[in-house]
A and B are shown apart, each in its own frame.
Chain A
Amino acid sequence: MTDESPLQAGNLDSLNERAKELRCLYQIEEIVERFDIPIADAFLKICTAVSPGFQFPESCFSSVVYEQDSYTPENLEPTPWFLSSDIVIQKDTVGRISVYYTEEFPTLDEGPFLREERRLLDSIAKRIGNHLFYRSLLDLKPADGAAGKGNEPSEDWRGPVNLIRHTDKRLFVRMSRKILNQLYWMGSPEAQELLDEEFGDIKGSLGEVNQAGSRVARKDSVLLSERPFEIASEYFSSREIIELVQRWAQESKAGFFVKLSHDQRTTLPELADGIRRFRHAFTDGSEIPLSILNGLRVSLVRRMLTEQLEFIKIAKEHVDVEDFQALIEHTIVPGNGQGRLGGKAVGLFIATKILAKHGDKNALIKNVKTPKTWYLASDGVSAFMWHNNLEDVMEQKYKPIEQVRQEYPHIVQLFKSSEFPASLVQGLTIALDDFGDTPLIVRSSSLLEDRLGTAFSGKYKSLFLANVGTREERLSELMNAIAEVYASTFSPDPIEYRKIRGLIDFKEEMAVLIQTVVGQRVGKYFFPAFAGVAFSNNEFRWSPRIERTDGLLRMVPGLGTRAVDRVGDDYPILVVPGKKELRANTSIDEVVAYSPRMIDVLNLETKKFETHEIRELLIEIDGQYPAVERVFSIREDEILRKPSRLLLDLEKDELVATFGALFRETTFVEEVGELLDVLASTLETPVDIEFAHDGLDLYLLQCRPQSFLREESPAAIPKDISPSRILFSADRFVSNGWLPEITHIVYVDPETYAKLPSREELLQVGRAVGTVNKLLPKRQFILMGPGRWGSRGDIKLGVNVTYSDISNTSMLIEIAKKTGSYVPDLSFGTHFFQDLVESAIRYLPLYPDDPGIHFNEPFFRNAKNLLPSVAPAFAHLQNVVKVIDVQSETNGKILSVLLNADLDEALGVLTDPSSDDDAPQQRQQVESAPEPPQPDLYWRWRLQMAERIAEEMDPALFGVRAFYVLGSTKNASAGPESDIDLVIHVEASPEKNKALELWLDGWSRCLAEINYLRTGYRQEHLLDVRLVTDDDIAKHTGIAGKIGAETDPAREIPLGRKSS
């Protein structure tokens, strides 16, 4: 089956020919898999099926000759233009198959026939041969039912045994030995004698302990005789002997396959052929020994799916050998393809098998489907690059990241303009025919992706294809998309990610999944009713009644892209499978404000992936949305109600995406919950799945271990930490995470807050927090305060803030401090819960009065308060709101918050900024939790650039007196997106100021471009420059106050000596 002469790429005629051949082969396959029809009928069917596989089917017929009988449809006479192939059973020629043309055609490779046609006929003949051999074995089988149990005269063991002796000597020898062994164990003296005869007297040679037994020449002649069976006939009935012979014959059939599947040189097509033969060997349902079967499964799993032991263990229990055949039949490989399927494909494949196994007895998941999928094996990308001489691109990953980023667009173009090897084109053509013209998604499935512990999610591309137009157009667009997915292996993001995780030297290969997009066509659009992701573990719980293992679903109307990613300006619907009635948003206003507004769809006319406003789309498609009454609710006054398709008035009704009726009236949430449970318990790890629903059926699109992104993996909680280093601890409602570098704490003192005398002052605390939120370094501070942050009710019970007042914090902590005998309830961030989720802000409740809990109140009480200097307008609240600079309070230490949901423990601990000693296990799980990109690179580079600017600047020309940096560049906290804050002390000269601003503008744009190349963050400007004059400094107005300030002062950079 090895394809040694790939066809000319793009030659669709010859592709059509190959497709014809394959169709023919498949038909033959179907016929030879049937043993229930008389042999004559089988031959005639084969004859009919063969002709269409040839170049001129109208002028073509074929015939089979077997044991002197000839089988030809309609008794056609042979012609001089024919092609013949012998039918061989176990080396004996038993017949032949011939194809005749009824008229003369130009001479080609072999008469009027093509080389490929010769191969086709040979392979058909081979299949007929196999078929006949199996038939002969089957004929040995005792008749069912009526046969009874006694020895029947017709059942003489001699017939079958002799057949084997004459056709397959090696098999016969093996069988003889087996039956002899059997008899020997049963204590048959005759068998003993025979064995002695075979090996001589072996007893004496086994006596010495320290010496190898002498080697004895075997006498096969003993085994080749009928004698072992003669002896056996005295111990077994004829029927029993026949059964034994059959079983061994079949076992021996597995032998070739064991060899094949273990041999790494076997190509995938050979393997497919092997599986097919293997299946034929066991079509009668007889049992293969479990050991052989398991060995086979494991070698197939390793071969195609994964080398990971824990995964192999699970896979071998759920995947049968036949499953691989179906898999290989839908796998496209390059000529000598060996390749694997990559993480995404494997996860889905295994999940499908798990569901198939559990589906029978589990009504909830019985009807879960998976979309039709074709796989492009991982070595396809190498074949593609080799075919186009792109090997040098392989080294791309070792280039500096700036260069990788700069060159990436060219690589994409290069790949897109390259050709695919013929073998891939052929495979894709077949796949495309199989799919028809339904929209497709091309997903990356790399070897690194989805490995346990490395979540590459979203790092590589997934592309939607409308898949409309002529066959040629569709093929070309499919190849274009695959080329782009291939190119994404060399995009800067995954390369940087791999560098960070020490995976850069891994030979990354990219398999590709081609799947039908789940959905319906409505007007010119194509989309599912809804789609989303679901997690076994819920890391964001909005109520103490929700447990971590209750799971979480994020879903949106239309394509699931908006639920998979955090889109920033829109919200998915959240629901907890274990507690579907407990919703994050309860009031009508909340439900409406946090409902999805936009929808992703495929436009089949423009062939584009598009985002629309749901409201507009509904009007455009005249409400013909799949399952509209389940996806949307109508808001009417203060009620949300289910729409009726009949009465829907799109002009008047306010439709809100709530999934109200879906949750209430169907078992959808339960189905997804069960799906998660079954997959997680079988795979022995929490999972993360993607799904889509077309309004009728639920489809599983992806399944992998729940992301072990660093920020979501459980942090190790050290036990031997000195209490003096602990600022707080918690042991209730803890989620996973690790906030390594907290430099500031904003602490609202629960006691002094409660004592504030006026409502106005209470409100001002919220404003103070909002102000500080804008001034502190983003995501490097935490907020701690009493009761319910953002409470809209009684202000005394929690600081009155909106989400925007806390948007830059990395964590929100609510302190439930006992007053009298009363412990207040906490809010769990409900008031802006979805905002917290979408911006990955952590939430933690603290119960300082619980036994065993640390809460270092003196630290918070006694620390120096920066509030008066940071936000002087709120200085009067300094007893209530404390802004603490952790480093200056603790001699340079920073706060590290370790969160571990598995243990339900959290710890806020002081550490040295550079040391990692509080995360010892983080290092052990290097794969799952790597070092973060070194943040110091960002600020250091920024500081260097600032120094450079100062150096290059001509003070006289621009009227510059002094040059300062401040903010994140000064505080060494800059991230990849940070700008460089500069304050420049200048003369009050509008002309010089203008010239300076112009000069700096150039710098700003250049630096922004360089920063983009380094980090991938696109900004127009990188500098944030403010000019101050003597006057400003004297008055300490605005930013000028930072010069020479007591806290967080601007840092002066020496000016260069350049002068014009």
Chain B
Amino acid sequence: MGAQGSFNPFEMARVQFDKVADLLDLDSGTRELLRSPLREYHFSIPVRMSDGNTKVFQGFRIQHNDARGPCKGGIRFHPQETVDTVRALSMWMTWKTAVVDIPLGGAKGGVICDPHSLTPQEQEAICRGYVDQIAKNIGPAIDIPAPDIMTNAQHMIWMLDEYEKILGSRFPGMITGKPVGLGGSLGRTQATGYGLVYTIREALRQLDIRPAGTRASVQGFGNVAQYAIELLERIGGKVVCVSCWDQQDSASYSFRKADGVVLDELRSITDRFGGIEKDKAKELGYEVLSGAAWLEQDVDILIPAALENQITGENVAKISTQVKVIAEGANGPTTPEADKVIHERGIFLVPDFLANAGGVTCSYFEQVQCNMNYFWEMDEVLGKLDLKMTSAFIAVSDLARKKKLYMRDAAYIIAIDRVAMACHQRGWV
């Protein structure tokens, strides 16, 4: 797709892989295998529309690698989905499951459609039609889909139901992202934010800093940021600055309180788009600063948990000398130029696909619980999440320390090495 020289996400993902493959000195066979998905399914989904006509939708499922276990990855509904985007994302899923060391591979899927132009019944028909086409090639032991862009729990339930109809029995582990009570796991909403803090806690331990008394600044006030703030406070840290987007002013602002922001207070003054209302914040005694201010605070921990490309070559110099840890809650918040500076300054970075892997880990737990049809209490889920994240972190940080690697590189190296190793052991390459 696309003209020569234009941006292609799959090419980008390959370039990144090649770099690590060089470092690992992977043999050409392994490289060849991992540079491309193992299997791609492209299929047609005919749907009887509400006006009586039939429309055919294009669906696909791309399974990048399942050497370490069944594939895992979301299903996206998007009107202009491209195969290369999905390929890139499936590869990224393989690395992500590998870095947290859960026994799963990577996949991604999608349907070219615009839910804004579809009735709920038509969307249901697409979900069921999707499963009808791919039922043989997905399943709790093969490939486990999950919600993604423009799909949600409802879509997952339709797909599960269709799958179970075809198979003639119950397989709740066939899909994740289901509501609690219908095969969903407790702790799902907290998982990413909490997982992020578990890695921060471990990073501080590495640096020999006691969490109590540390100060942090957070970009974003979404789900991840809120639960991160919650847990950070509970382990004794203090979040002194939060920034978020203000829809009305089309600008972002930072909200600062020197003795620590109060999460419930901020939650109670968010607008419909999740932004903090600045007038109310002022009344509550917050300083309202520019959107960029979160980065410039004299804190120990920076948590970019909003958008990509937030720490750039231009603003990286404004990071206070006091900052010890940057934990990437968002995907890709740091540009390569900034990465270089952070590396040079010796700031401890927890890279995105490790830092925010709490979500996929909890999906894994959902599947595990489904497969044994026994569901854990919240504490058990979070306890296991802590264990998983902590060990994943230690593996990466140990490697980084021993080999004097930048944390991001170490994480990729471990992930790709684990996948390559599994392929070797299976005798594929």
A-side interface residues toward B, CB under 8 Å?
A: 542-545, 569, 579, 581-584, 586-588, 592-595, 597, 636-639, 754-763, 770, 773-774, 787-788, 791-794, 796-798, 802-805, 807, 824-825, 827-828, 830
Contact = CB atoms under 8 A, between A and B. Distances in A.
Interface of B: 2-3, 5-7, 9, 12, 50-51, 76, 78-82, 85, 114-123, 147, 149-150, 152-154, 177, 179-180, 184, 188-189, 245, 247-251, 272-274, 308-309, 335
Given A542-B116, A805-B250, A807-B250, A586 B6 contact: no
Nearest 5 A/B pairs, CB to CB? A804-B250, A581-B119, A638-B153, A543-B117, A797-B80
Contact of A593 (B82, B188, B273): B273
Contacts of B114: 543, 825, 827, 830
B80 A755 contact: no
Contact of A582 (B12, B85, B119): B119
B9 A638 contact: no
Contact of B76 (A793, A805, A828): A793
B115 A586 contact: yes
Contacts of B149: 792-793
A553 B308 CA distance: 38
Nearest to A763: B309
A595 B179 CA distance: 22
14 contacts: A582-B118, A586-B115, A587-B150, A638-B147, A639-B153, A755-B3, A757-B7, A763-B309, A793-B76, A793-B80, A794-B78, A794-B81, A796-B2, A802-B250
A797 B309 CA distance: 19
A495 to B, nearest CB: 33
A637 B189 CA distance: 8
B136 to A, nearest CB: 27
B416 to A, nearest CB: 22
Contacts of A639: 152-154, 179
Contacts of B274: 593
Contact of A824 (B80, B152, B179, B189): B80
Nearest to B114: A825
A507 to B, nearest CB: 44
Given A637-B184, A638-B147, A638-B179, A762 B247 contact: no
A762 B117 contact: no
B7 A758 contact: yes
A1038 to B, nearest CB: 16
A344 to B, nearest CB: 33
Contacts of B79: 788, 793, 825, 827
A792 B152 CA distance: 16
A794 B82 contact: yes
Contact of B80 (A593, A761, A791): A791
Contacts of A586: 115-116, 118, 123, 150
Contact of A830 (B12, B116, B153, B177): B116
A597 B76 CA distance: 30
A544 to B, nearest CB: 7
Contact of B117 (A544, A593, A595): A544
Given A754-B6, A828-B116, A587 B152 contact: yes
Interface of chain B: mostly helix, strand, loop or mixed: loop
Given A755-B5, A797-B80, A802-B250, 7 more contacts: A637-B179, A639-B152, A639-B154, A793-B149, A796-B2, A804-B249, A805-B250
Contacts of B78: 793-794
A756 B4 CA distance: 10
Given A638-B177, A638-B179, A787-B80, A756 B120 contact: no
A716 B179 CA distance: 54
B20 to A, nearest CB: 20
Contacts of B309: 760, 763
Nearest to A543: B117
Contacts of A582: 116-119
Most chain A beta-carbon neighbours within 10 Å: one of B184, B245, B250:
B250
Contacts of A770: 250
A830 B77 CA distance: 15
Contacts of B119: 579, 581-582
B177 A825 contact: no
Contacts of B9: 759, 794
A794 B87 CA distance: 13
Contacts of B245: 802
A825 B153 contact: no
Given A544-B117, A593-B273, A759-B9, A637 B153 contact: yes
Most chain B beta-carbon neighbours within 10 Å: one of A639, A755, A802:
A639
Nearest to B4: A755
Contact of B179 (A592, A636, A773, A797): A636
B3 A754 contact: yes
A72 B215 CA distance: 100
Given A593-B272, A755-B6, A545 B117 contact: yes
Contact of A796 (B7, B121, B177, B188): B7
A563 B70 CA distance: 51
A592 to B, nearest CB: 8
B2 A754 contact: yes
A891 to B, nearest CB: 34
A168 to B, nearest CB: 68
B116 A638 contact: no
A422 B163 CA distance: 78
Contact of A588 (B80, B117, B152): B152
Contacts of A597: 272
B115 A587 contact: yes
Contacts of B180: 637
A774 B251 CA distance: 11
B116 to A, nearest CB: 4
Nearest to B122: A581
A581 B120 contact: yes
Most chain A beta-carbon neighbours within 10 Å: one of B114, B150, B274:
B114
B18 to A, nearest CB: 17
A774 B249 CA distance: 11
A583 B50 CA distance: 14
A252 to B, nearest CB: 60
Contacts of A592: 272
B7 A756 contact: yes
B108 to A, nearest CB: 13
A525 B60 CA distance: 54
Nearest to A753: B6
Contacts of B81: 793-794
A660 B308 CA distance: 35
A233 to B, nearest CB: 70
Nearest to A835: B247
B334 to A, nearest CB: 12
B250 to A, nearest CB: 3
Nearest to A592: B272
A241 B272 CA distance: 80
B250 A794 contact: no
A763 B335 CA distance: 13
B5 A757 contact: yes
Contacts of A579: 119
B80 A788 contact: yes
A640 to B, nearest CB: 8
Contacts of A763: 308-309
A545 B152 CA distance: 23
Contacts of B6: 754-757, 796
B120 to A, nearest CB: 6
A639 B184 CA distance: 12
A665 B260 CA distance: 48
A579 B51 CA distance: 10
B80 A825 contact: yes
A1026 to B, nearest CB: 19
Contacts of A797: 80
A154 to B, nearest CB: 69
Contacts of B85: 793-794
A581 B121 CA distance: 8
Nearest to A588: B152
Nearest to A787: B80
A587 B116 CA distance: 9
